[in-house]
A and B are shown apart, each in its own frame.
Chain A
Amino acid sequence: MTRSTILAGWLIIVPVLLGACTTPAQAGEVKELRVCGDPNNLPFSNEKLEGIENKIADVIAADLGMTVTYTWWPHQRGLVKRVLNTGRCDVMLGIPKGYDAVLWSKPYYRTGYVLAYRKDRGLKVRSLDDPQLKKLKIGVQVNTPPHDALGQRGIVDNVVGYQLMFDSNFHAEDYPGKLVEDLIAGEVDVALVWGPIAGYFAKKKAAPIEIVLLEDRPESGNRFAFDISMGVKKSNKELKGKLEDALARKHDEIRHILEDFGVPLLPPAEEKAHNKSAP
């Protein structure tokens, strides 16, 4: 009895103090959008706030009357368990819908893996079933869906593997854009790469790169297109709801940001997947 009275007292006092030293929002509201950000992984995010996710975080936070703060941690294995779930930050931007380690929001864009090559090579490759792919030198991040799809088609000899695991704090040389830079430099003939990475680096270098979205055929094990959501801790349904409202309100602004970064966009998919742990 005594204990719960004390706790109740704390709950009232704390928001009032916070409210006193900040601006417009109502008492009791959380003022910070605490983002789990990758410190060095363009086009997605970096500490200079130059990435897609940094821009979108600003838009969403402004809409919610919040300010963005970051916990910098590479978006690598261990992030959810050690950083999001331990409460060091509250939201991850740019995670795939269906990523079961988190509670994901309704998606705010859809993109996919792409096939990319230099326009001046005189190639015309539209699909992974093109027989030319048996001969061309193909760069691909290992263990990604297009890597699997090449294996399915027996295309293995002419494949150059790029690391999927990337710790952005170290080994800058292994960053995901390296594959696109190698493509521009002619080190590989074709790159099979995640769309936002291809779009950004091709645009940044103003390189004549043809980008072809791969046809999504999940029924044959070739899943190339993904809905992209924001992810919060599984119990944080409140923040998920707020983020979804803001994403709906800021739809157009977010689309501009994505286009600015050269993200190849797909029309939204039908609602199919559901969070396993949430209604």
Chain B
Amino acid sequence: MWIKSSVVAIIAVFLPVAAHAQGASADDPMSLQADDGQWALPAKNYSATRFSTLNKITPENVKNLKVAWSMSTGTNQGHEGAPLVVGTTMYVHSSYPNHVYAVDLTKEGGTILWKYTPKQDARAVPVACCDLVHRGLNYAKGKILMITLDAQVIALDAKTGKELWKVKNGDPSKGETMTGAGLVVKDKFIVGISGGEFGVRGHVTAYDINSGKKIWRAYSTGPDEELLLAADFNAANPQYGQKGQGTSTWQGDAWKRGGGTTWGWYSYDPTLNLFYYSTGNPGTWNADQRPGDNKWSMTLWARDPDTGMAHWGYQMTPHDSWDYDGVNESILADLTIDGKKVPALVHFDRNGFAYTVNRTNGTLLVAEPFVAVNWAKSIDKKTGRPVEDFSKRTKQGVVTKDICPNAMGGKDQQPAAFSPKTGLFYVPTNNMCMDYEATEVKYTAGAPYVGANVLMKAGPGGQLGELIAWDATTGKKAWGIKEKQPCWSGVLATTTDVVFYGTMDGWFKAIHAKTGKLLWKHKVGSGIIGAPMTFLGPNKKQYVAVYSGVGGWFGAPVSQDLPSNDPYAALGAVGLAYKNGLDKDTTKGGMVYVFELE
């Protein structure tokens, strides 16, 4: 006992010092991710586990957690992602107009070193889907790398907040916006694009972090030379699809408006030198007009970050007709499956299935539903294709009732965490179904058209959310905590078996990693859709921080004050959010809360 705590104390004290001592090389994400005193990457580390070995907050003392300080971000839309801590500075971001604050942690309560607000094109605002969110910043070699809603990519001097370079990655007047944090790998900042509902053709693009020069761009649909497919693409699993299918699985020129946007979280395996991300729904919402698989929408990708070349791609939902964007995070973990150690990638998809694949080649190992699912009965392991219930397919002009999950998915952007200590994944989930209803008149630029109405409703049991613990080696739920509202926050797991998450009704909670037992909770100013993080302060105390600020697709009715008399507004979110009392449970407003032990 004595020996153990001494060792821990020594590590805790010396790690940050060691990191500084290594000079320039210690200032890149590869080194920083290994230091649990800092939180320098959007998901803590390249594996995106959101797991920390900091151990001062334990199941026994977490009840003494209190607010150390808090700070308004100055904006009222949804706050997703997590602040970064590098050295003694916290970098805080906000929803549109995407303020960035550098906060000095050596001062009690934090003082602002600099504030930066990008100049933005206001035309991005009306075309942004689902609230004006931003999923966070990246840090590398003395720079803050960020995206903006109007699709700029910007590098700032982390010390001064001065702009070093900026480039345009998309055009908001064509419906292109950006919300995903992106990821720095080596000297490249890899970023995505949003705007699937305008038929934006998705891509990922790598920019040189020193100059902003575009290094490569890989599209989600289209000819092979624009998809950047490596010679060995899908060699291990040819049944997933081959070259030529970025156009041949579309009719006519529909791939040009093919969607497959890339607004989710990215991860990276330095040993395999592969980075992982996935693509959203196909463009053109009427599925009848795009028969075929519509590759490579809804696809898990593994690419070489140096060249952008793809080594494998696995499409989870061929020919989507439900808006099950495949963009959720992929968590990298080495798991033991059937007695064999596997370099795995675990992905909880909007379509309601949790996929465990071998991340070297995409081979499917486990695929089981983690929420109520009825659009497909199972996933065929050999072919990788869903075994569909065709009565749950949507069709323009036809009413289809009770499709589960709903378009927001069994899980939306809210990132899960993995604890190598318990071997469990902690997954914030939604429990919602939908009726795809008759059509209504819409209008744009002088012409009327007809769009589908989607009515969202509670799934089995009536609660809208659940935090679940998941065994990805077997595809089974260990336990779950039901929540009144959709579970829309990220999760943080720590080595002491304390797991943190937040709820849309504004509770920040600590639970036990083994049992799910509630250990502590605190009501914050606004619902939580951000991701909790932890770090060591300059005083070597462990802190936990989280954004409060309701919003996102489900929360937009509250963050944007949408009138309650149109249940179909915000793509169907309004009816259910008000019916479920979200407007009584919380109000809008962006804040960062920092907690410490009393």
Contacts and interface: CB of A to CB of B under 8 A. Distances in A.
B288 A151 contact: yes
A165 interface: yes
Nearest to B449: A144
Contacts of A147: 286, 289
Contacts of B291: 154, 156
Contact of B173 (A98, A141, A169): A169
B446 A161 contact: no
A204 interface: no
B24 interface: no
Nearest to A223: B450
Interface residues of B, number: 41
Contact of A142 (B284, B397, B566): B284
B198 interface: yes
B440 interface: yes
B445 A226 contact: no
Contacts, number: 141
B547 to A, nearest CB: 25
A182 to B, nearest CB: 13
Given A142-B257, A156-B289, A194-B446, A221 B440 contact: no
Nearest to A97: B441
A101 B123 CA distance: 20
Interface in A204-244: 220-221, 223, 226
B222 to A, nearest CB: 14
B64 interface: no
A208 B173 CA distance: 34
Interface in B119-174: 123, 125-127, 171, 173-174
A81 interface: yes
Contacts of A160: 252-253
Interface string A133-148: 0000000011111011
A95 B286 contact: no
B272 interface: no
Given A151-B286, A152-B288, A145 B445 contact: no
Mostly, the A contact residues are: loop
Given A76-B126, A77-B127, A161-B252, A151 B289 contact: yes
Contacts of A43: 446
Contacts of A75: 443-446
Contacts of B450: 145, 148, 223
B326 interface: no
Given A143-B286, A221-B398, A156 B447 contact: no
A166 interface: yes
Interface centre among B171, B251, B254, B444 (most CB of A within 10 A): B444
A226 B253 CA distance: 29
Contact of A143 (B171, B285, B445): B285
B126 A148 contact: no
A44 B446 contact: yes
B126 to A, nearest CB: 2
Interface residues on A, range: 35 or more
B441 to A, nearest CB: 4
Contact of B174 (A82, A168, A171, A194): A171
Given A143-B286, A145-B449, A156 B251 contact: yes
A148 B451 CA distance: 10
B360 interface: no
A159 interface: yes
A165 B198 contact: yes
B22 interface: no
Contacts of A194: 446-448
A151 B173 CA distance: 28
Given A98-B441, A100-B441, A176 B446 contact: yes
B175 interface: yes
Given A77-B126, A147-B286, A169-B173, A99 B443 contact: yes
B290 interface: yes
Contacts of B289: 142, 147-148, 150-151, 156, 159
Contacts of A77: 126-127, 444
A106 B566 CA distance: 21
A221 B397 contact: yes
A126 B566 CA distance: 39
A164 B448 contact: no
Contacts of B254: 156, 159, 161
A41 interface: yes
Contacts of B566: 100, 276
Nearest to A222: B397
A96 B565 CA distance: 20
Contacts of B385: none
B442 interface: yes
Interface of A: 38, 41, 43-45, 74-79, 81-82, 94-101, 141-145, 147-148, 150-152, 154, 156-161, 163-171, 176, 194, 196-197, 220-221, 223, 226, 276-277
Given A38-B446, A77-B127, A276-B566, 20 more contacts: A75-B443, A76-B127, A99-B441, A142-B289, A147-B286, A150-B289, A156-B289, A159-B254, A160-B252, A164-B445, A165-B198, A166-B444, A166-B445, A167-B174, A176-B445, A176-B446, A176-B447, A196-B446, A221-B398, A223-B450
The 10 closest A-B pairs by CB, nearest first: A78-B126, A221-B397, A151-B288, A151-B289, A96-B448, A156-B251, A98-B441, A167-B173, A44-B446, A170-B173
13 contacts: A78-B127, A79-B126, A82-B126, A98-B441, A150-B289, A151-B288, A154-B291, A157-B251, A159-B289, A161-B252, A161-B254, A165-B444, A176-B446
